[in-house]
Structure 1
Amino acid sequence: MPETVLQLENVSKKIGKKEIIHNISFEIQKGEIFGLLGPNGAGKTTIIRSIVGLISKTNGKVSICGVNLDDDFKDAIQNVGAIIENPEFYMYMSGWKNLKQFAKMNRKNISDEQIKQIVEKVKMTHAIHNKVKTYSLGMRQRLGVAQALIHQPALLILDEPTNGLDPQGMAEFRMLIKELATNGTSVLISSHLLSEIQQITDRFAIIDKGHLTHIEKMSDLTEEKILKVTLEVSDGESARLILDTLDLEIVEQNGNLFVLNVTREVLPEISRALVRANVDIFELSKIHFSLEDRFLALTNGGEL
């Protein structure tokens, strides 16, 4: 059986008469990267703040490694490392001294050797003794992850962790998070960058207007039974007559260019029928269904 690291059961939050989130329930397993998606104002940050105890819940239950957050906050929260918004440091101190200072505030006895291992894990060895004010944004993000990992938490929570990072910084950050998950750390990541979420998460949840509307495995996005394909031919009129006889849906036609919804099995039949009719095929290719497509479909095209 998978080991459940985080479990939310019917978590709600009201401010006055306004319900910010409503009966949110999901769980995250050991070593899983779980994405939290939603338009601005959907309630993502409220969910995260409820998990780490920064705001009180109106109703519901949060359990971390089997410990109810309300029953024993200290025991539950010691299993969590978090970066909410931007990590904060003493800019005039080195990265190493920042981590040492944070270690002193922890309930656990954290040795220099443990700190060194964390620094190596986030690939900051080369700059750890430099002042933080000299760090790039990507380096500060990695130092933030080191700070969140210093007490070896079972769950790492990241709220918009790639904000402001350049493409190389994003790629390095993805590799780091995947490595952490491979070694058993569970990760909850909230982001508005759908392409980043698609590349990094195992599962994702969509929050819309305070409600959890959808949970799906990321792998299911690439295993659609119905494929969307583009077809470009030499003669659109002749091709249309042929396509109308086949078991498929013509989504769009623009002259000699078609967009079709088809099953995998009918693809060879399309090619054979067009060749028999002397219609040349210039292109027949799959349109990969993206997380953005899924998000827009499930939030009525809501803006991020």
Structure 2
Amino acid sequence: MDNDAAEVWIPYTADEIAGLPEGLTYRFWDGGEEFPGDPARCAFYTVPYLKGPEVARRPLAEMSSLRVVQTLSAGVDHVLPGLAATPPGVALCNAKGVHEASTAEMALTLTLASLRNIPGFVRAQEREEWLSGFFPALADRSVLIIGYGSIGSAIEDRLAAFECARVARVARSARTTARGPIHTLSDLPDLLPDADVVILSTPLTDATRGLVGTGFLARMKDGALLVNVARGAVVDTKALLAEVTTGRLTAALDVTDPEPLPAGHPLWHAPGVLVSPHVGGSTSAFEPRAKRLLSTQLTRFAGGEALQNVVMTTE
């Protein structure tokens, strides 16, 4: 299909995004029951944001002319199972550059709120109780970031102001940065016992699914805090509940498994657990960055240029 005839599905109307190239046909679809046109004519599909994996994958099997799948999330695990039904040569692109600021803010918010007992203060305020005392600081703490991509790096940017004792970094491959070495997952047994705060910002892959299980948690030091802004399934919920119930560890979770967390689930009331409803990227910073990404990607697509943030290409 020539670009001049290509149809583009986006979760905004075309007039809401500055700088969109001419010569493409834009269709608004944000996950509604009715498709905006024939899926077989769609060449560039932007996945509706936060509408769930079923919505994300629903049109893929019918998109016989598809060339690009663009997520508006950093993770792509919710889309991957649907790509088997697409033609070969389809580029899957993520939203690198959109969520770093918001997700890093959330990681720091959860960390500080948990350490400084903000949930306890909120409950005490409701009881009109003056809950004084001494609480842990982030200053002088050892922090371990697991998942040192653009979001992990943005988290460390913000940690720099908090006088941490040290920051250790873990990613898929070892390398050296200006800030220091980046370790691999195989180094975790040596790194975990030193960490006061462990922040998860890793993609959900076969290697990271259930990564934070019984053995991982057992290696964390007494009193350590686990912060998850990655994906819920990176953590074994049953194993985490066993640790927080004893009071040995605490946790701050923007993502859970299952998700949404159902009423009556023990995580809601587990001691030392702070839960936020997967809102790490859902801030005022999202929309302008998402629109800039779409404008850039579609300009490249229309001009036959290489796309940014390509995670994989179907075979």
Query: What is the TM-score with the length of structure 2 in the denominator?
Result: 0.29
Greater gyration radius = 1
More strand by share: 1
